[in-house]
Structure 1
Amino acid sequence: MRREVCSLAFVRAVFAEFIATLIFVFLGLGSALKWPSALPTILQISLAFGLSIGTLVQSLGHVSGAHINPAVTLAFLVGSHISILRAFFYIVAQLLGGMTGAAILYAVAPSGVRGNLAINALNNNTTPGQAVAIEIILTFQLVLCIFASTDGRRNDNLGSPALSIGLSVALGHLIGIYYTGCSMNPARSFAPAVVVKKFNNHWVFWVGPLVGGILASVIYNYLLFPYKRTVAEKLAIFLGNFEPEEEEWDERQETRKRRSIDLPTL
């Protein structure tokens, strides 16, 4: 565990989560501000959030995995993909990055358009219970897409995981904006709430995404496409002491070779 935390790769990964969440929150919230000459549309906001996630996953996925979301990080922890310490530092970095991005946006946006900084709120007479349900469903489909599109065991034509994940985020916003402004990400909700100091029904935007992420992780990693790992291996991953067996490494390499061979020639 100490070896993982003290490594340079770990520090880079945590910093990447900070930077990625900062940029995501700045771009996403910035798209939803109410400029007087051109009010933002739902399609515009959805594309801005989706394209920003897709871009950041493509840019930083190889450094940290580009979680950019505490619900995703918790899902990876539950699915035995990362250690408890990595999850903790990732979530701290995401929250700090989100708050920094929101604070920068608040500072540079004209006072007449910043409003509540696109804070998540219950819309169209949505009750807290309905809001939690919609956030669970939207986060579930996002996290399920993340696991499926980044699964190294697949040998079919995946296409672009970054694009798939970005489209999943955009899809969630096309529906979720009507209910809650669409969170799917506690860091995205927490950041503007801290800056504008408004926490009405804020618990909704933690409970919904976290439950949705956990459900998706359990269903994908333990029911739909489970990993063949022993309890000891899962414990080693949890503690940050796991090293893949040589056979598992060879299998991953072979999968990558098959995937490259199976790609169609354009």
Structure 2
Amino acid sequence: MASTTLSRLEKSLTPTALRSYLAEFISTFIFVFAAVGSTMSASKMTPDATSDPSSLVVAAVAHAFALSAAVYMAANISGGHVNPAVTFGLVVGGHVSITTALFYWAVQLLGSTMACLLLRVLTAGQAIPASAIATEMTGFGGVVLESILTFALVYTIYVTMDPKKGPMGIIGPIMIGFVAGANALAAGPFTGGSMNPARSFGSAMISGNFKNHGVYWVGPFIGAGIAGLVYQNLMIPWESTHGVVEALVV
């Protein structure tokens, strides 16, 4: 058992693995900087962003564009997770080892925190918007909603990045961005449509607001885990040894 653990740790510290971690850090940083920054910009340019539908559209479009770009940039290096829940969904599906997932989670959280910190500094201390559930909602309702949103996101990732469907090309990241943007439009006023524990963690860390923060971990992890189980066991088993996803198993 000890030798197996050591072997997995060694595989997680190879030059290839280290490049994967760097790619995840950079892509997560870029995504969160654009996603949180767009929300801050919308708040600054509209008198009451909470009741102006245009601010929701701006944030959703920015999420879609930024996530598509971030996934595409890292896809052939790290798999382009950009999200601890996505990594967890691939762990459940057997495509990423737990040891590697721990490193992915660490750099994703660091990338998000650094992005939010820089936004705070560069905007002269403008408030960083933390993920929050609507006042009329319960924590349980928030968890269920984030679970559904993340299920849709991770299931889309499985479908578009399945190597048996051929090369992913550009269409995979675009579809992933589309579903993230649609989910943000659907749930923005209720939970913020985070679907990403790292994105919520960075803004909570820098803003100092961790109220209901558990919603943004429990919900996405449940949704991602179910997506991995459903696609892996009920749809198309991943038997191919080729394709982008295999690069995730290090």
Aligned to 1:35: 44
Aligned to 1:14: 21
Q: Is the 8 A contact 1:149 1:158 kept in 2?
A: no
TM-score normalised according to structure 1 size: 0.81
SS in 2 for 1:41: helix
Question: How many corresponding residue pairs?
Answer: 229
Note the alpha carbon deviations across 1:104-154, whole angstroms, 9 max, x for none. 01111144xx32x12111125121111111101000000000000000012
Note the alpha carbon deviations across 1:28-83, whole angstroms, 9 max, x for none. 00000121467561111001011001011111111101101000001111101111
Aligned to 1:23: 30
1:72 equivalent to 2:86? Answer yes
Separation in 2 of the partners of 1:196 and 1:157? 37
Separation in 1 of the partners of 2:135 and 2:89? 30
Q: Is the 8 A contact 1:73 1:87 kept in 2?
A: yes
Aligned to 1:83: 97
Question: CA separation of 1:5/1:167 partners in 2, compared to 1, >3 Å: closer, same or farther?
Answer: same
Which segment drifts farther, 178-187 or 153-162?
153-162
TM-score normalised according to structure 2 size: 0.86
Aligned to 1:256: none
Q: Is the 8 A contact 1:124 1:178 kept in 2?
A: no
Gap runs ≥5 in structure 2:
1-7, 244-250
Q: Is the 8 A contact 1:51 1:166 kept in 2?
A: yes
Q: Is the 8 A contact 1:55 1:162 kept in 2?
A: yes
Separation in 2 of the partners of 1:2 and 1:201? 34
User: Displacement of 1:162 after TM fit?
Assistant: 0.8
Which segment drifts farther, 143-152 or 16-25?
16-25
Aligned to 1:235: none
RMSD (CA atoms): 2.0
Structure 1 counterpart of 2:177, from 161, 166, 176: 166
Letter in 2 for 1:59: M
User: Displacement of 1:156 after TM fit?
Assistant: 9.7
Separation in 2 of the partners of 1:157 and 1:166? 14
Letter in 2 for 1:43: V
Separation in 2 of the partners of 1:156 and 1:85? 27
Question: CA separation of 1:161/1:194 partners in 2, compared to 1, >3 Å: closer, same or farther?
Answer: same
Give identity over the alignment, percent: 32
Q: Is the 8 A contact 1:136 1:211 kept in 2?
A: yes
Aligned to 2:231: 220
Aligned to 1:243: none
Question: CA separation of 1:203/1:164 partners in 2, compared to 1, >3 Å: closer, same or farther?
Answer: same
Question: CA separation of 1:139/1:119 partners in 2, compared to 1, >3 Å: closer, same or farther?
Answer: same
Structure-to-structure mapping, 1:1-266, within 5 angstroms:
1-33=8-40, 34-36=43-45, 39=49, 41-111=55-125, 114-115=126-127, 117-123=128-134, 125-155=136-166, 160-228=171-239, 249=241, 252=242
